[in-house]
Amino acid sequence: MSAWLISLGLALEAGGIAALFTDLPSLVTLSAYLSVHALATLIFTLVCLPLLPASYRQKLVLAGVFLFTLQFAMPVIGTIGVFAGVLLPLRLPRSEHSIPWQETAIPDLPYRPINMGEQLGFSDGGLREVLREASTPDKRLKALLASRQLTDQEAVDILKEALKDPSDDIRLLAYSMLEQKEKRLATQAQQLKKLLDEPDHPDRRRLTRRLAHTWWEIAYLGLAQGGLKQYYLENARNLLVDLTKERSLHNDWRLLGRIELALGHTEAASNAFEAALASGAPPELIYPYLAEMAFLARDFQKVRFHLANCSRFGPSAPVKELMEGWL
């Protein structure tokens, strides 16, 4: 059937072209050719429609209009192009595409549901418990490495606990991590001192305050002991005394009070904390230190008094625990 239709279409197309070369008037020959060409185009369209992919045949009318228009607008050339575009892809072999994925080995990371009860918690208490109770060095080593996610104060406590571990590797790693923290702060302090040695530095107050905080942090974290700790605390105190003489800021007074308290100078610490309150320090930050000094003086009534004052200002979680024990 298709061969017969194709033969009929070719015969009509050839007849239409031949009509253009007759001696008839131009309008007649053109009308005859267009009519015969339209009929041939319709036949070729009917032949092409069954050969289209199924997705194109779902909209058969639109596909037929498109094929007819394309062939009618370009005599001969349009028909050859349509047949080449429809028949050749159906007859040519399909090209082999590369596989869009690649096989990989089973990864080492967990890819199945894991037992959360066997996982390490990243709190200082949980890590300290693992260091004390875990039977295998691997678990204790993981707990030690997990301490890097904690704050410096919490991490230093964990690292000091790891210095007592029976495993040489864990003790050496803990010592190395402590040394790195101390070296970082000591290097920062040296850089600040070099900047302060410049006589005309425009921001001496800020640098002095940062240096005092750095020395205090080394002592507060327990990275220095004995005479070295005393040296850092006294240097930080001297810097803060100079700062508070030039300008009274409550943060400077509060840190000075903490340093005096660490040095055992309770009276000087009390004066510093009172000055911090007078300079506008939030009371909830000062009253816990006043309660601590009252405890050192064994004045338990004042301890309760200062903790009771904290309750009016939304105390932090550690202070709430103290309040629950004392009030």
How confident is the model over 209-242, as pLDDT tens digits?
999 999 999 999 888 888 999 999 999 999 999 9
Q: Looking at the structure, tell me whether residues 59 and 12 fall in a common domain.
A: yes
Same domain, 13 and 65: yes
Q: Name the stretches of the chain with pLDDT < 70.
A: 1-2, 4-6, 8-10, 16-20, 23, 53, 56, 76-77, 83, 85-99, 107-125, 327
129 and 66 in a single domain? The answer is: no
pLDDT at 121: 47
Domain end: 158, 177, 196, which one?
177
Whether residues 62 and 18 share a domain: the answer is yes
Angle ∠(218,223,226) on CA atoms, nearest 5: 100
Residue 144 lies in a domain: yes
Residue 229 belongs to some domain of the structure: no
67 with 22, same domain: the answer is yes
Kindly state whether residues 82 and 142 are assigned to the same domain.
no
Whether residue 21 is contained in a domain is answered as yes
User: Under DSSP, is residue 53 helix (H, G, I), strand (E, B) or coil?
Assistant: coil
Question: What percent helix, strand, coil does the chain show, rounded to 5?
Answer: 75, 0, 25
pTM here is: 0.58
Classify residue 302: in a domain, yes or no: no
Instruction: Indicate whether 139 and 67 sit together in one domain.
Output: no
At 58 the three-state DSSP class reads coil
Q: Give the integer Cα–Cα distance in Å for 103 and 302.
A: 72
How many domains in the chain? 2
Residue 261 lies in a domain: no
DSSP designation for 50: G
Looking at the fold, whether 71 and 14 belong to one and the same domain comes out as: yes
Q: Which domain holds residue 45?
A: 2-87
Residue 29 covered by a domain = yes
Q: Are residues 82 and 6 in the same domain?
A: yes
In a domain, residue 127? The reply is: yes
Q: How far is CA 179 from the centre of its chain?
A: 29
Chosen domain end from 43, 62, 87? 87
The pLDDT of residue 120:
46
Last residue of a domain, one of 154, 177, 200: 177
Q: Are residues 144 and 78 in the same domain?
A: no
In a domain, residue 143? The reply is yes
